[in-house]
Amino acid sequence: MTMEPAEGVVQAVVLYDGQLLLVARGDQWVLPSGTAEPAESAEATAARVVYELTGYLVDGTEPLTRRDTAPADGPPSVLCQLLSHTPSDEAALAPAQVRWTPIPETAGALLPAAVRDYLQGHKPV
């Protein structure tokens, strides 16, 4: 599989044990996101951003797309696999700015439709 360079902002979707990783932005909880570096794929951007913001090591595995034909409602989102259960001390955000939210409690979070579509079919492992 060839990974195309990403442009602009990429959002990371990190799930573990029926919970979604969210970060504080102002008074809202959102997906970790950041801007792609030159020639960086969306998958690599998502993994880098999660580590830089939260200290968690993840692997960007696949971009999420909507099930219907509606246009995207935000930046691309990449599903990521959690590789470390403990964040490093190098995170840009304080621990109070990072939280694992049970999927049923994500209704108030700003999530793109592709992410909501994916979460509806997600079953914890």
**Cβ atoms of residues 12 and 32 within 8 Å:** yes
CA distances from 27 to 20, 40, 87, 123 (A): 18, 30, 23, 29
- pLDDT value at residue 67: 59
Place of tokens 């794929």: 41
| pLDDT for 2 beyond 90 | no
Summarize pLDDT for 36-81 with one digit per residue, the tens.
999 899 999 999 999 999 999 999 888 887 655 455 567 889 999 9
Nearest Cα neighbor of 23 from 79, 76, 93, 86 is 93
pTM: 0.86
Q: Which amino acid appears at position 62 of this protein?
A: E
- pLDDT value at residue 4: 65
E strand map for 17-120: 19-25, 28-30, 33-35, 58-64, 77-82, 98-102
Residues 6 or more apart whose Cβ sits within 8 Å of residue 80: 12, 13, 14, 46, 47, 50, 58, 59, 60, 61
Could you give all domains of the chain from N- to C-terminal order, each with its CATH number? 9-121 (3.90.79.10)
Give the H or E element holding residue 40.
Answer: none
Summarize pLDDT for 6-31 with one digit per residue, the tens.
667 899 999 999 999 999 999 899 99
